């Protein structure tokens, strides 16, 4: 997508130097800065610190990390070590484990002298296929939003949680791809952007929407239920980090509460995600999905600009260390609260998903 008139992807490969350029998402929306990652350890650290984040982007970045490891040493030992190093960086989004397994499978059957090239080309293909999948998701989501607009005959008010935009993928986004496609097709939309404490990914969503000219309003996380009761939300549309084949949706903490409120107010709740986010191995999402627990410092402080014109962001303490903190990063919305799942292959009711992924 465009930033100040220039086309960007959230990750770009330099194929000659075998490095990747990323946007440091910990500094947005205050500072737009790109960073270069040159080896697998730097990639692992960028994922862990959430300089890159969002399920699809984590997967693709990790694939490049493995390719960099192969560049340094193409042994089986390095292959296994790089998988282990990257796998533990963020446990909930299945795209990470999926991408690592796919690269490993592809590379391990190659002779050692071909592994670095094979891994790099494979990571590039994953990046390109993510863009294609997200654009297809956007087109299917556009149909859902257009149908709602034709029924309502006014702008569609969509509430979104966290950031499921182009920053969270290689390009387009998932939930936001549907919104960009609707906006570009002339379907009027207005987006309620959840702040998404503690890391405030809503700031990223607002930054993206403003860049694309999509009307939006930033709200605190607790406002959604009230707004749904007052007819100010027509649809909830989120991304996902892992989805079971029966349609349970793991996504950013707070998604479940939005789904409950949507259900209580008969408002449709959709999750948009690529096939790589569906974990067909799950029998019981509630027991089997590891919910990442992050540092208490994310809750004890908020990050903001140091001064009005300063370009340095800094944490401000809002809670001292005497009070214990618990910081789960994701929750699971049960399939019974999900109206539809939008993938690159179409829009499915949760009960249809298993058949759809087998086809």
Which 294-353 positions form the footprint of ligand MRU (CB under 6 A)?
329
Q: Of 33-41, 236-244, 283-291, 316-324, which segment contacts ligand MRU by CB under 6 A?
A: 236-244
CA-only gyration radius of the chain, Å = 20
Instruction: Choose among 329, 344, 265: nearest CA to 296.
Output: 329
Nearer to ligand MRU among residue 251 and residue 339 (C-beta) = 251
Query: In a 3-state reduction of DSSP, which class is residue 202?
Result: helix
Binding track, positions 44-83, relative to ligand MRU; x by CB under 6 A: ---------xxxx---------------------------
Nearer to ligand MRU among residue 119 and residue 204 (C-beta) = 204
Kindly tell me the sign of the dihedral angle through the C-alpha atoms of 346, 349, 353, 356. negative
- As a dihedral over the C-alpha atoms of residue 200, residue 206, residue 207, residue 210, rounded to 10 degrees, the angle is -170
Which 27-46 positions form the footprint of ligand MRU (CB under 6 A)?
none
DSSP assignment of 39-58: SHHHHHHHHHTTSS-SHHHH
Binding ligand MRU (rule: CB under 6 A), the pick from 99, 209, 240, 338 is 240
Q: Annotated catalytic residue: which of 130, 194, 234, 241?
A: 241
Query: Binders of ligand MRU: how many residues, by CB under 6 A?
Result: 19
Whether residue 241 lies in the annotated active site: yes
Nearer to ligand MRU among residue 274 and residue 350 (C-beta) = 274
Binding track, positions 144-183, relative to ligand MRU; x by CB under 6 A: ------------------x-x---xx---xx---------
Nearer to ligand MRU among residue 310 and residue 325 (C-beta) = 325
Nearer to ligand MRU among residue 254 and residue 350 (C-beta) = 254
107 binds ligand MRU per the rule CB under 6 A: no
**Strand order, beta sheet including 189-194:** 216-219, 189-194, 156-160, 235-238, 269-272, 340-343, 346-348
Which runs of consecutive H residues, i.e. helices, occur in the chain?
Answer: 40-48, 55-72, 76-87, 94-108, 112-152, 175-184, 202-212, 224-229, 255-264, 285-288, 297-300, 353-358
First CA to last CA across the chain, in angstroms? 32
Residue with the CB atom nearest ligand MRU in the bound state:
239
Binding ligand MRU (rule: CB under 6 A), the pick from 200, 201, 205, 333 is 201
What's the closest the beta carbon of residue 197 comes to ligand MRU, in angstroms?
A: 12
Distance CA 160, CA 205 (A): 9
What's the closest the beta carbon of residue 250 comes to ligand MRU, in angstroms?
A: 8
> Which run of H or E residues covers position 243?
strand 242-244
Q: Is 113 exposed, middle or buried (0-12, 13-18, 19+ CB in 10 A)?
A: exposed
Strands 11-14 and 19-23: antiparallel
Binding ligand MRU (rule: CB under 6 A), the pick from 234, 241, 298, 344 is 241
**Residues annotated as catalytic (active site), given as ranges:** 241
Query: What does the binding site for ligand MRU look like in residue numbers (CB under 6 A)?
Result: 53-56, 93, 162, 164, 168-169, 173-174, 201, 238-241, 251-252, 329
């Amino acid at each position: 997508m465009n930033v100040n008139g220039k086309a960007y992807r959230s990750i770009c490969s330099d194929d000659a130097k075998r490095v990747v350029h990323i946007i440091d998402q910990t500094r947005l929306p205050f500072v737009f800065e790109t960073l270069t990652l040159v080896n697998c350890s730097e990639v692992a650290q960028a994922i862990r610190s959430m300089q890159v984040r969002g399920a699809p982007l984590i997967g693709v970045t990790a694939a490049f990390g493995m390719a960099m490891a192969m560049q340094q040493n193409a042994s089986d030992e390095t292959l296994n070590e790089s998988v282990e190093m990257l796998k533990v960086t963020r446990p909930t989004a299945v795209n990470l484990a999926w991408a690592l397994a796919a690269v490993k499978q592809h590379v391990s059957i190659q002779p050692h002298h071909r592994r670095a090239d094979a891994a790099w080309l494979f990571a590039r293909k994953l990046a390109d296929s993510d863009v294609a999948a997200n654009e297809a998701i956007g087109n299917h989501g556009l149909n859902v939003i257009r149908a709602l607009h034709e029924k309502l005959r006014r702008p569609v008010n969509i509430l979104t949680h966290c950031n499921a935009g182009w920053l969270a993928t290689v390009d387009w986004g998932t939930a936001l791809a549907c919104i960009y496609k609707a906006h570009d097709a002339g379907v009027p939309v207005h987006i309620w952007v959840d702040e998404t404490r503690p890391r405030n990914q809503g700031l990223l969503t607002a930054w993206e929407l403003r860049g694309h000219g999509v009307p939006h309003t930033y709200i605190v996380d607790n406002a959604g239920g009230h707004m749904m009761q007052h007819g100010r939300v027509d649809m909830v549309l989120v991304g996902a980090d892992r989805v079971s084949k029966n349609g349970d949706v793991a996504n950013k903490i707070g998604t479940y509460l939005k789904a409950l409120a949507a259900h209580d107010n008969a408002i449709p709740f959709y999750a948009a995600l690529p096939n790589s986010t569906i974990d067909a191995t799950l029998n019981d999402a509630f027991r089997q999905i590891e919910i990442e627990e992050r540092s208490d410092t994310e809750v004890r402080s908020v990050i903001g600009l140091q001064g009005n014109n300063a370009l340095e962001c800094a944490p401000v303490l809002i809670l001292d260390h005497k009070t214990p903190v618990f910081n789960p990063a994701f929750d699971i919305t049960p399939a019974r609260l999900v109206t539809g799942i939008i993938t690159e292959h179409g829009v499915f009711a949760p009960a249809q998903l298993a058949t759809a992924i087998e086809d």
